[in-house]
Structure 1
């Protein structure tokens, strides 16, 4: 066997081994660490000094300046559940997650379920540009860190929090959610 034939045989074996490994991985059941199914546990935030979500006092909403120029008074969040999503312009998981949240925002009556995006970026102009480029129209604000601290001490992005109609955080869901999971979360919120 010539040297060229030996190199070709080695390349074929390496390619064949890689293909077999890829096929083996594809055969495994799909499981994503960034998505969860619709049966989320009622899990307390691991932050010390906080009880389970149901035991917490209602969120102390500050006045929030939205990126479209409107201001939301604390009492304007009362009476309907609120889906709050903490995200960043540089986060690829947030990009996909926010597209799913946008679809939900367009489908659900805001009198029944409110949506608020909270960008953790510091540059408001960059966030506005990002929202425009991605076609995201749900209400958004830029956080100085104070808003996230009212909901969670976890630093996972995206972080989705569901505030029930009584103003308490009923769920905290770290990571990207599938479209089905976002719809299931909305159904859960609307069911009370």
Structure 2
């Protein structure tokens, strides 16, 4: 779910799993397909919104990693996604996901950007915290930078923090049992 560049999908496909790589972004799906390499035959790429999943069949495991639920900024959207996850699972299936907590987003917010090099690419990251709305705005630059100008991509993401007890309650309301936090 929200497969992004497809690294997790590739990892699972390399280990023999049949994978539905789902993302709302056509660009991310193209990157995911390219990342699959020779494992591409084990993946089905689907452009779908996690709130309204319509998979070809029910699955035994659903993974929504990289704090993707935090990108849903309204409680109702998180509720829709959790219900959608539950409906996509076989009986006894499991959903695995991670979220950033308010502490992580608030304490990680720093208007001073930090920068590092990764495989010859410059990565700059800055974030700010909106206390009133419990949201962080993350600004990321990926590309090349040097004396003669810069070229790259700028991404801006907003993430909302949801309290653990609220998420647990909503998981049970969506139909899940045996919730572990």
Q: TM-score, normalised by structure 2?
A: 0.27
The structure richer in strand per residue is 2
Report the structure number with the largest CA radius of gyration: 1
The structure richer in helix per residue is 1
